[in-house]
Structures are given as C-alpha cells and as structure tokens.
C-alpha cells in the first residue's frame, strides 16, 4: 500500500505534477492556436461582436495567462516574489473557472429563450460561485531554496467547497439544458423549435457533460486528500477541460454548423430530420379511393388488331 504522506512519495508526485502542467500548457496552446482564426475574424470585423463574447475572450486569455504563470513558478531558478506570482496565478486561474461556468450558463439561458425564471436564479448562482473563487485567491507562498516557490498556507476546505460548488453548478446547467432539449422537445420533428435548440441538441450537450465530469474528478481528488500534491493534481486539468468545452460551445453558438438534416417551414422554424429517409411520408404515399383509376371491364379485342 502506498504511503501517500511519505516525503519521497510527495516529491515524486510533485515531479509528476510539474510534467503534467507542461503537457497541459502545450495542449492548451495548441487548442488556442487552432481556434485563433475565430478570434481574428472579430478583430478584422468579419463577424459582428456581441456582448456574450466578452466572457468568451476573457475565459480563453485568463486561462492562457494563468498557465504561463504556473509554468514560470515551476521553472524559475532565481529568487522572485513568490507571493505576488502565486496570487496572480490564482486570480487568473479562478477567473477562468468562473468564466467557463458563465459561458455554459449563457448557452443554457439561450436554450430557454432567456426566460426570467431561468436566468435570474443562474445569475444568483454565478454570484455565489464568484464569491467562493475570489476568496480562494487568498494564499501564502514564499521562496524556499532549493525547492523554489512553495505554497506555505492555503485554505483547503474553501478550495474543496469551491470545486464542489463548481461541480454542482455544472450539473445544474447540464440538467436544465437536457430537460429543455430532451424532455420538453423529445421529438426530432417537433415544430416551432428554434435552429439554436436543434444545433445544441446535435452537438452541444456533450460540452456540459465534459465540464461536469472534469470538476467531479477534481472534487474526488480534493476530498480524498491523499497528500498536498494529489489533492490539487486534477484542479488544473479540470479548469482547462471546462474552459475548452465552454469556449467551444460559444464558438458553435456563433458559428452553427449544418450537421443536422433539416428544412424550414413557412414561419422560418426548422423541421429537423434524423436522416433523408424521414422525407418519406407513408400517409401521403397511400393511394386514396378517390384518386384511384376507375376499374374498367375487360373488352374483347377485335380480331383485326390481332391479324396482319
């Protein structure tokens, strides 16, 4: 059985955590670079900027800044102001977590057609979420040679509560979205559903599920409390996963794909079909009695038509 509190084990876990952070930094830079064209399209004026995109851009770049700051803290070899650096990292890192939840909430509010009984409670939940995240930036760090920058004091209980809250928040928006898409409109041919709802049902619900599972994993490690390193080892992956799927959700929101096979009625509402075979209307194909060709009695063909 592994003794997780053994100093040698904690050192090995710390080395693994440092390598994981570098891998995740590379992964997120790749994700940021591949979707950079979407950002540039707004700078060049090819797309119309709308206010929800403020949270999208803040989410992307707050996380990028936080990851770069964490990489600096792990690799610095000369004495620096560790307290300021770690506070900086916490502010931007926690902001990215909160912004990811806001982006997913905006999708949920859009699905519910901005109903007040949906967006008002979600705004209150968001405010509570941010109050916990902002309290989470209060930590102490200092330079301890030869280890470098080391966190000397933090509120693990508050950190655990923050991730539990994030997990519950993601589950809430997941449930609300699933309820609207699956329960309220179970038929793929339902009339009156907006194109946005159809597209989210086609490729958007998975974003909410990934965000929930990522925060669930981080919460499990936090509650296990194996050692100081293992307790937070899933925090950064959870923040990255949540931010990526939240930003992807906003990108598909602004650039809806044509994955679904559909047509529009006279009112502009989409009529979605699962496949081209849905075009077949069995009722229309039935031969009605009033349209049947009248049955004629057989007549004897004159013999002259049978002979030359």
CB atoms within 10 A of CB 302: 8
Collapsing DSSP states into helix, strand and coil, what is residue 264?
A: strand
At 201 the pLDDT is 53
- Please report which confidence band the pLDDT of residue 185 belongs to, taking 50, 70 and 90 as the band edges: low
Instruction: Name the class of domain 11-272.
Output: mainly alpha
How would residue 287 be classed by pLDDT, with cut points 50, 70 and 90?
Answer: very low
Mean pLDDT of 148-155: 80
C-alpha radius of gyration, the chain, whole number: 29
Residue 198, pLDDT > 80, answer no
Helix (H) or strand (E) holding 148: strand 148-153
Residue 72 is predicted with a pLDDT of: 93
CA dist 150 and 140 (Å) reads 9
| Contact between 96 and 239 (Cβ < 8 Å) | yes
Q: How far apart are CA 163 and CA 219, in angstroms?
A: 6
First to last CA, the chain: 105
Count other Cβ atoms within 10 Å, centred on residue 251. Answer: 15
| Per-residue model confidence (pLDDT) at position 256 | 54
């Amino acid at each position: 059985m592994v003794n997780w509190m053994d100093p040698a084990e904690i050192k090995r876990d710390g080395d693994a955590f440092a390598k994981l952070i570098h891998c995740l930094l590379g992964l997120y830079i790749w994700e940021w670079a591949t979707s950079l064209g979407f950002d540039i399209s707004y700078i060049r004026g090819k797309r119309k900027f709308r206010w929800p995109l403020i949270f999208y851009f803040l989410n992307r770049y707050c996380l990028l800044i936080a990851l770069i700051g964490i990489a600096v803290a792990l690799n610095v070899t000369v004495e620096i102001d560790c307290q300021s650096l770690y506070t900086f990292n916490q502010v931007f890192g926690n902001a990215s977590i909160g912004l990811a939840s806001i982006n997913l909430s905006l999708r949920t509010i859009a699905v519910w057609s901005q109903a007040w009984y949906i967006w008002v409670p979600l705004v209150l939940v968001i405010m509570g979420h941010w109050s916990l995240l902002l309290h989470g930036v209060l930590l102490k760090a200092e330079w301890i040679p030869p280890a470098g920058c080391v966190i000397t004091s933090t509120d693990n209980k508050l950190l655990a509560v923050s991730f539990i809250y994030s997990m519950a928040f993601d589950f809430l928006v997941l449930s609300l979205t699933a309820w609207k898409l699956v329960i309220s409109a179970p038929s793929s041919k339902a009339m009156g559903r907006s194109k946005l709802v159809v597209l989210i049902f086609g490729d958007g619900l998975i974003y909410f599920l990934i965000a929930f599972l990522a925060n669930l994993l981080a919460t499990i490690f936090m509650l296990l409390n194996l050692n100081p390193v293992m307790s937070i080892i899933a925090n950064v992956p959870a923040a990255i996963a949540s931010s990526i799927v939240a930003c992807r959700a906003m990108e598909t929101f602004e650039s809806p794909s044509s994955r679904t096979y559909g047509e529009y009625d006279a009112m502009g509402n989409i009529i979605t079909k699962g496949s081209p075979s849905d075009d077949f209307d069995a009722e229309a194909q039935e031969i009605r009695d009033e349209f049947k060709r009248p049955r004629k009695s057989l007549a004897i063909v004159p013999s002259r038509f049978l002979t030359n």
